[in-house]
Amino acid sequence: MKKQLLSLAIIGSLLGTAGIANASTTWTTSSAVKKYNEYINADSYVKDELYNVADFRAKYGSQSNTLAYQIVERAIWYMENGYMVYGSGSDAYGKYGYEDCSGFVRFVFGDFGFNVTGTSANYNTVGTKVAGVGKQKVNGKWKLTGIENLKLGDILTWQETDHIMHVAIYMGTNRDGQPVVIGTRSDGNPTALGTVDGWEYWWGENFKEARRVVPAAGFTGMAGKTVKAPIIPDSYVLPPQKPVPAWTGPSTGGGSTTPAPDPTPSNPSNPSNEKTTYVVTVKGWVSLKSAASSSSSTVGRLQLGQKAELIKKANSYWYQIKVNGQTVYITTNSTYTKTITE
């Protein structure tokens, strides 16, 4: 249940959303539909995202009359029914069905009348900093500290260099006692949205701070806020793969259309029994390149233990692999990578 890998959905979020003229996504309808079908019943989604959603509703359902709960519930609604793919552009989701991390947080809070920035680098000025929340490295692994100070709907931020580069919404702790956030997350999920509950590596190491937008009255009631209907895009890159339910008002908790998943779900059978070859990292994270050359631009990372589908061996030095529907390159150096067939 612990996703610890860095998603490529973070890449490009450093500068947040640009003007709509620069709106863009690398996803096509065919690649988005393929990814959706690959992961909608996969353990990486069923045993992670759906478990975390079930835990949230079971643990916090008694708070369903509060603004904080409803903000998280709205984020979940978009994960389940929004068919969002990753991309960038000002208010791009409402127009085109794609968005980045800060844009997602912006429109979720916007559904409740808040006006927060769509630029991740500016989230150090959003709301107020939550005191007492930090990070600690123990026996080579990171963890969040002071999670008792977090509240539903807080915005968590991550910073790898000199700017905040990723933001997500806090949704409480799961059955394992791990803090969980919801936001853009491509790896192992059918859409651009997912949850994070593993903090041992990148997510813990690069955690910056938590920000609070919800007023005190929003943890006991609605704080005078009204809930808008969810945004329905004018067009989609990923067309809805099942009917989008009509919105009938705020969730009352415990009445979710998403049942708690079976504790031992299994992947759909593969009638063809075809096997796929993957490249996995064996020593730390490894850079992903835009071309089969060390001088090409770095477009992301493959984290320790993460795997990516092998397309081919481009040359003696580089594998061509597929990550989140994109073709990228990674070193063939056996010190850092190896291939496996499953």
* Percent of the chain scoring above 70 in pLDDT: 85
Mean pLDDT value across residues 64-86: 97
Residue-number span of the structural domain to which 160 is assigned: 8-219
pLDDT confidence bin for 36, thresholds 50/70/90: very high
The residue with tokens 């059978």 is: 269
Domain membership of residue 261 (yes or no) is: no
Angle between helices 49-60 and 67-81 (to 10 degrees): 150
Q: Which of 180, 197, 219 is the last residue of a domain?
A: 219
Q: Which of 169, 193, 219 is the last residue of a domain?
A: 219
Does residue 21 surpass a pLDDT of 70? no
Mean pLDDT value across residues 116-136: 96
- Which CATH number characterizes residue 78's domain? 3.90.1720.10
Number of domains in the chain: 2
Predicted local distance difference test score (pLDDT) of residue 19: 34
Does residue 95 surpass a pLDDT of 80? yes
Q: Which of 219, 235, 268 is the last residue of a domain?
A: 219
Predicted local distance difference test score (pLDDT) of residue 232: 97
- Which CATH number characterizes residue 306's domain? 2.30.30.40
208, two tokens: 């910056």
Domain membership of residue 88 (yes or no) is: yes
Mean pLDDT value across residues 70-94: 94
pTM of the model: 0.73
Q: 102-112: per-residue pLDDT in tens?
A: 999 999 999 99
Closest CA to 59 of 180, 140, 141: 180
pLDDT confidence bin for 16, thresholds 50/70/90: very low
- Coil vs helix vs strand at 82: coil
Does residue 258 or residue 316 have the better pLDDT?
316
Predicted local distance difference test score (pLDDT) of residue 261: 42
Q: Are residues 177 and 309 in the same domain?
A: no
Q: 235-265: per-residue pLDDT in tens?
A: 999 999 999 998 888 876 644 444 444 433 3
Domain membership of residue 260 (yes or no) is: no
Average pLDDT, the chain: 85
User: Going by DSSP bridges, is the β-strand pair 277-281/307-313 parallel, antiparallel, or unpaired?
Assistant: antiparallel
Mean pLDDT value across residues 143-152: 98
Q: With contact defined as beta carbons under 8 Å apart, do 204 and 141 qualify?
A: yes
Q: Are residues 210 and 324 in the same domain?
A: no
- Coil vs helix vs strand at 164: strand
Domain membership of residue 251 (yes or no) is: no
Q: With contact defined as beta carbons under 8 Å apart, do 29 and 87 qualify?
A: no
Predicted local distance difference test score (pLDDT) of residue 1: 53
Predicted local distance difference test score (pLDDT) of residue 169: 99
How many angstroms separate the CA atoms of 214 and 154, rounded? 7
Predicted local distance difference test score (pLDDT) of residue 257: 41
Does residue 3 or residue 212 have the better pLDDT?
212
Predicted local distance difference test score (pLDDT) of residue 23: 62
> What is the number of other CB atoms lying within 10 angstroms of the CB of residue 261?
17
Q: 260-299: per-residue pLDDT in tens?
A: 444 333 333 343 445 788 888 877 778 888 888 877 778 7
